[in-house]
Amino acid sequence: MQVQTHSLLGTKLFLSRVLRNPRQLGAVAPSSRHLGALLARHAAVDNHSPIVELGGGSGSLTRALIKAGIEPRRIYVIELDKALAVYLKSAFPQVNVIHGNATELGKILPPHIIGKVHRIVSGLPMINMPECVRREILESCFEIMSPNGAYLQYTYSPRSSIKAETYGLSKERMGTIFLNIPPATVWQYKKA
Ligand SMILES: C[S@@+](CC[C@H](N)C(=O)[O-])C[C@H]1O[C@@H](n2cnc3c(N)ncnc32)[C@H](O)[C@@H]1O
């Protein structure tokens, strides 16, 4: 019951932030549980490594990661919007929620997890960002990941929102979820 109340509050807050800043929020609704489940399945590669989630929003992906059995203390959520970050901290007290920018992961994440992150799950609206910001985010991600780490990103277009070759990455389509508004495709990127 408490979870449901929190999730409704989160959705309401998310929609009010979309009205204020549609480009940064980049979505008309939080991700569905089906999209969350697909991302969580590919993020849960072992039972101990830290997992970083970029752009926590109203917490729909965070909820899916926890539902998939990932311990909350292994999850680090980065959210740029102050009001959403405050909400996420109260909704997920055991998760490490950081109010900050995905371009600065090396500075804002605790030093003991740098180089140990196997998976980054991103809900960032990459398509709305200038090329230089996209590059900064990807560089920041691959700097803090383990050598075999992977970056998971969903997009509302069936095509990848990241030109993998431009960044020396390989890409793989992990699936498309039609039960999402709008339908979304999940891509996984690794160092080529
Ligand atoms: C499309 S929403 C995703 C929300 C949620 N993960 C979901 O799937 O429902 C994108 C989120 O990314 C956040 N965001 C945008 N740019 C960011 C950045 N540079 N660093 C961290 N968060 C960012 C926005 O504030 C927003 O909450």
Tell me how far apart the alpha carbons of residues 167 and 124 are, in angstroms, rounded to a whole number.
17
Q: Which pLDDT score, from 0 to 100, does residue 1 have?
A: 46
Q: Which domains does the chain have, with CATH numbers?
A: 2-191 (3.40.50.150)
pLDDT for the residue 138: 97
- Summarize pLDDT for 116-152 with one digit per residue, the tens: 999 999 999 998 899 999 999 999 999 999 999 999 9
Nearest CA to ligand 1 atom 9: 30
Q: Which residues of the chain have pLDDT under 70?
A: 1-6
C-alpha to C-alpha distance for 97 and 76, rounded to whole angstroms = 6
Pocket of ligand 1 (CB under 6 A): 24-27, 30-31, 54-58, 60-61, 78-81, 84, 101-103, 123-125
The residue to mutate among 24, 101, 157, having the most atoms of ligand 1 within 8 angstroms of its beta carbon, is 24
The whole model's pTM is what? 0.93
